[in-house]
Amino acid sequence: MHTKVFRITDPLVAVTELREAAAVLRKGGLVVFPTETVYGLGGNGLSADAAERIYAAKGRPSNNPLIIHVHHPAEADKYAHTGELYRRLAAAFMPGPLTVVLPKRDLVPYATTGGLDTVAVRCPDHPIAQALLKECDFPVAAPSANLSGKPSPTVAEHVIADLSGRVDVIIDGGESDIGLESTIVKLDRDQNGEYLTLLRPGAITTDALTCVCERVVIAPAVLEQLKDGERPLSPGMMYKHYAPTIPLVLLDGTPEDVLAFLQKEQAEKSCAILCYLEEIPHLKAQNLFPVGEKNDLTTQAHCLFSLLREADKTGSSVMYAHLPPPDGLGLALYNRMIRAAAHTIQKV
């Protein structure tokens, strides 16, 4: 398949390209588009065939559900059963990096939802994604636009490396702002009323969610490795994710102890290091990948996936990174990094 690449900086002047991309989606084709979180691999969310094509292009198991993207939060009512809590979340966080899992309506095929009776809905806050979705009279199902098992793409070059020849169109809209996938919550209810289950942490933090809904329960798979045979609440959580080819080890210890450990390792073996900016003067420059300042989690989130891809190209025998603190935006970093490291944490 020939893949067309459209480079778009301003959606207002790229109307022709966006109409062409929407027409490709309408006919059942695949279009990669930029969002504020990561790039998405889009197909018609109401077409079982398009969902199958998405799974095939990514090499992703078809029981791993897709998120459908809409241009306005109110569009969710066409595809899912919403309610008062959904509307409060939408007013606070949409458009933006929040995905809400809701009971699905019949017109959404099971192929899109991985066989579930629920559907995940998101309204992205990116001018190109918004402009594309407005051209579509259907929701766009889109997982991250990487080959299954690779880090999510945050620039078009990553997408081109993974999916060239496997999709119809790639829209290059520059770097993704946030760099980590959306926060996913499920709306739940028990005898004490409504609550949110956090299925995947992201840029909308637990504290921010708590401002809209007092009770936020973190699903066990967010922080821990599930035991054999244990079923995750969110199917995607069972797969090994973002795994670099070089084994990644997360270091847990005081800043001084971690630095001393890294210096010793650099003297003894070839290692790639995702380090803090403050550590640069104390380490050898070779295969060093600065993720940002120690306390700048926003920059770390923005850089993580890109640097994992870069560090993986070094051919080192091991890759080291700091174990992030699991709160605020750190929870999202922690969740992605323990998956990339296949839960390998070394105390130093």
Nearest of 92, 46, 57, 60 to residue 73 by alpha carbon: 92
How many of the chain's residues bind ligand AMP (CB under 6 A)? 19
- Sign of the alpha-carbon dihedral angle for 339, 200, 26, 20: negative
Cβ-based nearer residue to Mg ion, 180 or 272: 180
Rounded distance, CA 129 to CA 107, Å?
A: 23
Q: Which residue in the set 144, 183, 205, 234 belongs to the binding site for Mg ion (CB under 5 A)?
A: 144
Supply 326's token pair.
Answer: 């699991």
Start-to-end CA span in the chain (Å): 49
Cβ-based nearer residue to ligand AMP, 171 or 262: 171
HSE (side-chain half, CA atoms, 13 Å) at 191: 0
Alpha helices in 135-191 (DSSP H): 156-163
CA 271 to chain centre: 27
Least CB distance to Mg ion at residue 105 (A): 24
Cβ-based nearer residue to ligand AMP, 204 or 273: 204
Q: Is residue 316 a contact residue for ligand AMP (CB under 6 A)?
A: no
Cβ-based nearer residue to ligand AMP, 240 or 269: 240
User: What pairs with residue 273 in β-bridges?
Assistant: 288, 320
Cβ-based nearer residue to Mg ion, 9 or 63: 63
Cβ-based nearer residue to Mg ion, 144 or 206: 144
Nearest of 178, 197, 191 to residue 40 by alpha carbon: 178
Each residue 166-195 as x (binds ligand AMP by CB under 6 A) or -, in order, gives: ---------------x--x-----------
Q: Which residue in the set 44, 47, 82, 144 belongs to the binding site for ligand AMP (CB under 6 A)?
A: 144
Cβ-based nearer residue to ligand AMP, 110 or 261: 110
Supply 43's token pair.
Answer: 């197909």
Rounded distance, CA 124 to CA 99, Å?
A: 9
Cβ-based nearer residue to ligand AMP, 141 or 275: 141
**Binding segment for ligand AMP among 61-69, 166-174, 243-251, 296-304 (CB under 6 A)?**
61-69
State which residue has the least CB distance to ligand AMP: 236
Q: Which residue in the set 35, 44, 113, 197 belongs to the binding site for ligand AMP (CB under 6 A)?
A: 113
Rounded distance, CA 233 to CA 198, Å?
A: 10
Q: Look at strands 183-190 and 98-103 and give their pairing.
A: parallel
Nearest of 340, 324, 341, 321 to residue 332 by alpha carbon: 324
**Binding segment for ligand AMP among 114-122, 131-139, 164-172, 331-339 (CB under 6 A)?**
114-122
Q: Is residue 116 a contact residue for ligand AMP (CB under 6 A)?
A: yes
Least CB distance to ligand AMP at residue 8 (A): 22
Least CB distance to ligand AMP at residue 200 (A): 6
Q: Is residue 199 a contact residue for ligand AMP (CB under 6 A)?
A: yes
Rounded distance, CA 312 to CA 185, Å?
A: 31
Q: Is residue 64 a contact residue for ligand AMP (CB under 6 A)?
A: yes
3-state secondary structure of 164: coil
Q: Is residue 145 a contact residue for ligand AMP (CB under 6 A)?
A: no
Q: Is residue 235 a contact residue for ligand AMP (CB under 6 A)?
A: yes
CA 253 to chain centre: 27
Interface positions with ligand AMP (CB under 6 A): 64-67, 101, 113, 116, 118-120, 143-144, 181, 184, 199, 234-237
Point out which residues bind Mg ion (CB under 5 A). 144
